[in-house]
Structure 1
């Protein structure tokens, strides 16, 4: 999906995925080292980044949409926290390695040919001993019609994900249904892949 498409989506007056964090992040964020530096990949309007900043983390968010990043700054100001924002096309630009104690991504959907690059960049950005966690829609999401991309080309295959995380300590892997109520774009039962790994 292009920068222009995301800029258009985020131009909506509302926060299209809501202002509250993803449920998976809310349930599991405490695995991240307390007070650590955390990178939020493909973070959009910033709901997860702001939540983590409220928990005392030092947060940097990466997204290709300038409008999404501006809304992140707006939400951070409303909530009285500080979040660093960086514009980057994560399908072609890597984040520098070994910068963070943890990294997260929520529904960072890119074309299949770009998915391995994105996940590797996220893992590489974390120091040894750090944690990576993400939730994405699986290939089985399309029939659910509850959100996410409208083509399988932008969804994730569980076998691919297992290959990408094979070299790391897996603390959590889930492939199945999950109910999500996130703004206007994620409403109802869907089919997700969840991962928490430690880089050791």
Structure 2
């Protein structure tokens, strides 16, 4: 989806996905060593980035939406933390490799032809021994209608993700139902894929 799409999507006064961190990120954040450098990919309005900054991490948030990044800065300010923001189209541009202790991504939905590049760029950005944590909607989410893109092409196939993470140590992999109440865009029972790997 285009920068214009996401700028429009985030233009509401309120935080469309809420101000509270994603459940998986909260549950798995203990894997990230104290005072880590963390990259947050397709981070939107910044709720997960701000949560990780509040835990004491050095956080950089990547998104193609200027509006989303501005809201990240505002949310960080409200929480008295600092989050670096970088405007980048993660389907076209690669984040520099081996610089983070951990990387996260929550519901970063991109077209199928860009998904492998996007996920592998995130993994590559992490140093050997670092962690990658992410959650996306599966293709089955179309049947739930509780959030996420209404197009099969923008959702994820668990077999693809297993293929992309195969070279790494898989700590957690889940493909199934989960309830997400995040703002007004993710509401209720959905169908997700969750990953925690160690590089």
TM-score (norm 2): 1.00
Alpha-carbon distance between aligned partners in 1 of 2:187 and 2:25, rounded to the nearest angstrom:
17
Paired position in structure 2 for 1:101: 101
1:33 is displaced (CA, Å) by 1.4
Secondary structure in structure 2 of the residue aligned to 1:48: helix
Find the counterpart in structure 1 of residue 59 from structure 2.
59
Q: Residues 152-185 of structure 1, C-alpha deviation per residue, up to 9 Å, x if partnerless?
A: 1000000000000000000000000000000000
State the 1:150 CA deviation.
Answer: 0.1
Query: Match for residue 154 of structure 1?
Result: 154
Gaps of 5+ in 2: none
> What does residue 71 of structure 2 align with?
71
CA deviation profile, 1:96-148 (whole Å, cap 9, x unmatched): 00010000000000000000000010000000000001000001000101000
Aligned residue for 1:127, secondary structure, equals strand
CA RMSD between the two structures = 0.4
TM-score if structure 1 supplies the norm length?
A: 0.99
1:34: how far off? Answer: 1.2
Give 1:196 shift.
0.2
Distance 2:136 2:37 in 1: 22
Equivalent position of 1:44 in the other structure: 44
User: What are the equivalent positions in structure 2 for 1:76-95 lying under 5 Å apart?
Assistant: 76-95=76-95
Q: What is the CA–CA distance in structure 2 between the aligned matches of 1:33 and 1:121, rounded to whole Å? A: 21
| Helix, strand or coil at the partner of 1:5 | helix
2:178 corresponds to = 178
Separation in structure 1 between the aligned mates of residue 9 and residue 88 of structure 2, nearest angstrom: 17
The residue aligned with 2:113 is 113
